[in-house]
Structure 1
């Protein structure tokens, strides 16, 4: 009987085999294909919704990003909220949302002031908020900080500081990076659509290649990710990125920086001059390649016309395929730490919104940094000059500048002297003096 008992008790190896994850390619056929169809249907629904919002206009795209950011933040906070309730940590959720509002106000306020200076700095109501924006944000954060310290409870210090750190990690990895995604939108929709599409493409083909050919586990944190899916998705994303960029760069709605948030895909938009990155230029082909291409096409080919953005897209595709997935692996590590399968159940077959956006935040930050470093063309704008005038010149000099501008326009024949006189140049000057004397 002792021998039978020993035989019936599972060994360590048996336990490991029972708990070992089953790769997609090795799953039972019925389960595998059922999950396939659920994921496919919800994927097409999400893509359809994405393009509908994209065509509706810049403001709707920005609101979509903010809504996604808020939902993902909520899902991440919910994971830590359960142990907080168990240990009776008061005000954790309230403080988490307070810090979200404060951080959102600071980050998006910075973007609005930077991109819409010409509007914000001439509005009597908005001007004080713009000038003192950072100080206001600091005061709001300080209020939350003081409230946190005042609510520290004896015996719960370690747990409360852990929750405080968790909240700030969520703010850094979600809200901070989402802010840069919105900046990408304001620089031109292509800098939002291209990176987002590359991650979606890579995710789809990683699943497809892993579904059919995945045999080798890639990383322990995410058991169903395979080397075959990882490499197959990389190749497919490179091809997709080059071709997709060729289409997007032809549409002014995609490439022009935002000047009016009310524009949509059906609005008349043009930007002149365009960023040189969108202009095709001839590239000489190496002699060995030229011979091979000429042999295939039966005519001599010595150069091809490629826009620099197409080559930048290849770099972005490499990041989306080789680095951005580590955002997903990081999220998988968080789920393992809290022993949950998914961040939520809002998307059938996918889990929560966080399970789909985990790579997008890192990709959005990379796209912003890459664009600012290698692509953006810097030039003076009305907003930047206006900001210098309003913030850098005293009132007397501002009024003198206005008078000199009017004089310049008259001397250049741009304005009719009678029109200026009708507006009252002398009256403006007298009013300026009166204001200055007060």
Structure 2
């Protein structure tokens, strides 16, 4: 028995020794493996993460050139297609903003909520753009006997009809309220009106810029794009100071550097764009023009060189500068627009970034491969477009009254007899100025008396 005990003890001892040796070998092997870990952790050519980043970069680059090509094709196609582009961005932005800010699961029980969102959108578009559509289509639609009459009635009562449509939507919203969903429904209504105010209303002003001339559409767009590019380039080369917390990659150096380069770019853009009357001429009564239409017009004075006297300062005299300089005023206005594009328009993008972070979304959508949604590309353009409109109307517009605007006003506010009376009075004035004959005027007067 002692022998068995000793033998057993020996076996146990040997097992411990063998176990220890195996453990030591394992430790040595693991230490050797750990010593070569840095070599194994180096990036490989077939690393899926590296491949995905490269693929995303390629897709983003391809679609960047696609968007540039489509944009310039639309510009050359004419003002009508540029307006359709803005309407597309208007509707798509509304859709993307609503989609990321509402809980889709709630819509299963509240189908009328989404319907009301779209109802308010098209009611707003009708109110903002209805008269513009009528102005440029009246000479075609008014020739249709029945349709022309009713469309004219809609144009005459446009504001009242718009109000009735909005009130109807408000009543439908109140009727659709359900207990247990009230918080969600009122949140959806507030978001809808926020998007209508910040996106749809400002996009309407961009359409007005297009009608004033493609110059006032393309210049603001170009300034925002240039500012975005140089903000990135200056940020990665000089950026050290964080600008705003909701966008950690935005730096103060990039912000200010982009301002400098955008001002320089504005001078170059004005030089190129102001040389073409296709860009500078406003639309009077025909939206069918395009780059081959050979448009001509009386230029706005801002596109005509003017003489400016320099203030009698000592520094100007010491530099032997002339007493006055001749320059197109549009260059001065472009510097003001570029300053807004650099210092204020980016906050439209910051606002969009804050909204995405609030709802924990990376992008507003995926409609543009590699770029996210349409809203991600035009978030700064809305604010820039509205400022350009107000700046143009305040400092540049000549507030001209043209034949088209007078005819549209007459057709919207006068009946047939009143229009004939207006024609008679105009012809009476022309008779007094010896422009038309008295016989022609008398014949017209007989027609008027028959109608009365």
Q: TM-score, normalised by structure 2?
A: 0.79
Per the alignment, residue 283 of structure 2 pairs with 258
Per the alignment, residue 132 of structure 2 pairs with 111
Alignment pair present for 1:425 and 2:444: yes
Alignment pair present for 1:401 and 2:428: no
What is the CA-CA distance between 1:396 and the residue it aligns to? 5.5
Alignment pair present for 1:314 and 2:355: no
Judging changes above 3 Å, is the alpha-carbon distance between structure 1 residues 149 and 98 closer, same or farther for their aligned structure 2 residues?
A: same
Paired residue secondary structure (2:149):
coil
Is the contact between residue 217 and residue 227 of structure 1 (CA under 8 Å) also seen in structure 2?
yes
Is the contact between residue 117 and residue 384 of structure 1 (CA under 8 Å) also seen in structure 2?
no
Separation of aligned partners in 1, 2:150 and 2:412: 16
Match for 1:267 among 276, 286, 293? 293
What is the CA-CA distance between 1:230 and the residue it aligns to? 1.1
Separation of aligned partners in 2, 1:136 and 1:188: 30
Per the alignment, residue 370 of structure 1 pairs with 391
What is the CA-CA distance between 1:413 and the residue it aligns to? 4.9
Kindly provide the CA deviation profile for residues 235-261 of structure 1, in whole angstroms up to 9, marking residues without a partner as x. Answer: 110000111112211211111111210
Separation of aligned partners in 1, 2:87 and 2:333: 27
What is the CA-CA distance between 1:326 and the residue it aligns to? 0.4
Q: Higher mean Cα deviation, 131-140 or 205-214? A: 205-214
Separation of aligned partners in 1, 2:344 and 2:288: 35
Judging changes above 3 Å, is the alpha-carbon distance between structure 1 residues 387 and 263 closer, same or farther for their aligned structure 2 residues?
A: closer
Per the alignment, residue 199 of structure 2 pairs with 174
Q: Higher mean Cα deviation, 215-224 or 105-114? A: 105-114
Separation of aligned partners in 2, 1:67 and 1:79: 18
Kindly provide the CA deviation profile for residues 189-229 of structure 1, in whole angstroms up to 9, marking residues without a partner as x. Answer: 11111111100111111122223333322111111112222
Match for 1:235 among 260, 268, 273? 260
Is the contact between residue 345 and residue 380 of structure 2 (CA under 8 Å) also seen in structure 1?
yes
Judging changes above 3 Å, is the alpha-carbon distance between structure 1 residues 35 and 303 closer, same or farther for their aligned structure 2 residues?
A: farther
Q: Higher mean Cα deviation, 218-227 or 203-212? A: 203-212
Paired residue secondary structure (2:250):
strand
What is the CA-CA distance between 1:346 and the residue it aligns to? 2.5
Per the alignment, residue 154 of structure 2 pairs with 129
What is the CA-CA distance between 1:382 and the residue it aligns to? 2.3
Is the contact between residue 136 and residue 287 of structure 2 (CA under 8 Å) also seen in structure 1?
no
Per the alignment, residue 346 of structure 1 pairs with 367
Per the alignment, residue 16 of structure 2 pairs with none
Is the contact between residue 71 and residue 353 of structure 1 (CA under 8 Å) also seen in structure 2?
yes
Alignment of 1:279-318 (within 5 A): 279-284=304-309, 288-289=315-316, 292=319, 303-318=324-339
Separation of aligned partners in 1, 2:86 and 2:358: 27
Q: TM-score, normalised by structure 1?
A: 0.81
Separation of aligned partners in 2, 1:362 and 1:243: 23
What is the CA-CA distance between 1:174 and the residue it aligns to? 1.1
Judging changes above 3 Å, is the alpha-carbon distance between structure 1 residues 84 and 321 closer, same or farther for their aligned structure 2 residues?
A: farther
Paired residue secondary structure (1:282):
strand
Per the alignment, residue 22 of structure 2 pairs with none
Judging changes above 3 Å, is the alpha-carbon distance between structure 1 residues 86 and 144 closer, same or farther for their aligned structure 2 residues?
A: closer
Judging changes above 3 Å, is the alpha-carbon distance between structure 1 residues 199 and 379 closer, same or farther for their aligned structure 2 residues?
A: same
Count of aligned pairs: 397
Judging changes above 3 Å, is the alpha-carbon distance between structure 1 residues 341 and 401 closer, same or farther for their aligned structure 2 residues?
A: closer
Per the alignment, residue 46 of structure 2 pairs with none
Is the contact between residue 115 and residue 186 of structure 1 (CA under 8 Å) also seen in structure 2?
no
Separation of aligned partners in 1, 2:196 and 2:164: 18
Paired residue secondary structure (1:91):
helix
What is the CA-CA distance between 1:288 and the residue it aligns to? 3.4
Match for 2:67 among 25, 28, 46? 46
Q: Higher mean Cα deviation, 164-173 or 211-220? A: 211-220
Judging changes above 3 Å, is the alpha-carbon distance between structure 1 residues 282 and 31 closer, same or farther for their aligned structure 2 residues?
A: farther
Judging changes above 3 Å, is the alpha-carbon distance between structure 1 residues 110 and 223 closer, same or farther for their aligned structure 2 residues?
A: farther
Per the alignment, residue 85 of structure 2 pairs with 64
What is the CA-CA distance between 1:137 and the residue it aligns to? 1.3
What is the CA-CA distance between 1:45 and the residue it aligns to? 2.5
5+ unaligned residues in a row in structure 2: which ranges?
Answer: 1-48
Paired residue secondary structure (1:215):
coil
5+ unaligned residues in a row in structure 1: which ranges?
Answer: 1-27, 295-299, 434-438
Match for 1:188 among 189, 210, 213? 213
Separation of aligned partners in 1, 2:258 and 2:138: 42
Alpha-carbon RMSD across the aligned residues, in angstroms, is: 3.0
